[in-house]
Amino acid sequence: MSDAIFPSPVDAIVAAAPARAAASWSAIFAGAFVAVSASLIIFAVGSGIGFASWSAWSGIGATAKSLTINAAIWLIVSQWLSAALGGYIAGRLRARWVGTHSHEVFFRDTAHGLITWSVATVFVAAIFSAALWSAASAGLQAGSNLTGAMAPKAEETYYADVLFRPAADAPPSPQPVPRGELHNIVANAAVTGQFPDSDRAYLAGLVVQRTGVPPADAQKRVDLFIASVQDEENKARAAAEAARKDGELASLYVALSLLVGAFIASVSAALGGRLRDLHP
């Protein structure tokens, strides 16, 4: 006889079971909210520990590098703990599937954990994006208000004052220090990467004219000024390079943490679903 006349027991069970959606969105959103709440709590605790270990005084408290490493570790731990908790809640609260193969149940449970992790991750990312956007907007507004009023300029540094400091036995020069011209020379050197000999000679002449020091001493002042400017520029480049490397490592750590968090949420949801099925 054909199967249409005598259906198999599996087909009879499937036909008798009521139609139910595979995704239990109530359990997913419940697990996502639990994961987000756990992330915020753990983040608040980590922020408090970080502020407690930091100090504005030199040589006291943790260094910037150690704070960065500790923050990355705490981010990974918070991601894993919140993912495990949210996935377990989603798996434990989801509706029980009657007449579904165990392999399909396992897949649906892991999918619930993954979806829960995805919803929580997108929600947390939206919160932090809004916070960062607000902080960036406030910083740009404050920076625009301070531009030209309080922000110190590069040419008004200590090295520029030393360059045009009058000699001990010479009267102060009535002419003002050409700070704008000095700034243009420094800016051109920063762009081209070198100080032309013509600029060196011109600066030495200005130093002799305004300070009364001998030409040899004026040339030494110019050389010291150029070396100081280049040293500050090298420090700034080194700091930017270090920040770039730290950002690169942080991005890799965050990506790895998120991948592991997705796996943990899936496994936790499968564990929660299994325990739910053991106690119908």
For residue 83, pLDDT over 80 is answered with yes
Is the domain of 182 the same as that of 197?
A: yes
Is the domain of 134 the same as that of 267?
A: yes
Is the domain of 158 the same as that of 145?
A: no
* Structural domain harbouring 124: 23-149+253-278
Does the residue 248 lie in any domain?
no
Span 102-148, pLDDT tens digits: 788 888 889 889 999 999 888 888 877 776 676 556 555 555 554 44
Is the domain of 106 the same as that of 206?
A: no
Is the domain of 166 the same as that of 134?
A: no
Write the burial class of residue 85 (CB in 10 Å: 0-12 exposed, 13-18 middle, 19+ buried): buried
Does the residue 177 lie in any domain?
yes
Give the pLDDT score at 88: 92
Does the residue 158 lie in any domain?
yes
36 pLDDT tier (thresholds 50, 70, 90): confident
Write the burial class of residue 163 (CB in 10 Å: 0-12 exposed, 13-18 middle, 19+ buried): buried
Token pair for 15: 């036909």
Give the pLDDT score at 154: 47
Does the residue 12 lie in any domain?
no
Span 139-156, pLDDT tens digits: 555 555 544 443 444 445
Is the domain of 143 the same as that of 268?
A: yes
Is the domain of 162 the same as that of 268?
A: no
Least confidently predicted of 54-63, 134-143, 260-269:
134-143
Whether residue 116 contacts residue 28, with contact meaning beta carbons closer than 8 Å, is answered with: yes
Does the residue 231 lie in any domain?
yes
Contacting residues for 12 by C-beta, under 8 A, at least 6 apart = none
Does the residue 81 lie in any domain?
yes
Span 167-189, pLDDT tens digits: 666 566 666 667 777 777 777 77
In the chain, count H helices and then E strands: 8, 0
Residue 209, CA distances (Å) to 167, 200, 261 in order: 11, 14, 68
Is the domain of 186 the same as that of 67?
A: no
Is the domain of 39 the same as that of 116?
A: yes
Is the domain of 87 the same as that of 109?
A: yes
Token pair for 19: 């139609």
In the chain, how many domains are there?
2
Whether residue 49 contacts residue 43, with contact meaning beta carbons closer than 8 Å, is answered with: no
Does the residue 245 lie in any domain?
no
Token pair for 219: 């040339």
Does the residue 18 lie in any domain?
no
Is the domain of 41 the same as that of 104?
A: yes
Whether residue 162 contacts residue 225, with contact meaning beta carbons closer than 8 Å, is answered with: yes
- Closest by CA position to 38, among listed 50, 28, 49, 46: 46
In whole angstroms, give the CA distance from residue 91 to residue 187. Answer: 62
Mean pLDDT of the chain: 75
Which position has the higher pLDDT, 9 or 160? 160
Is the domain of 38 the same as that of 143?
A: yes
For residue 223, pLDDT over 80 is answered with yes
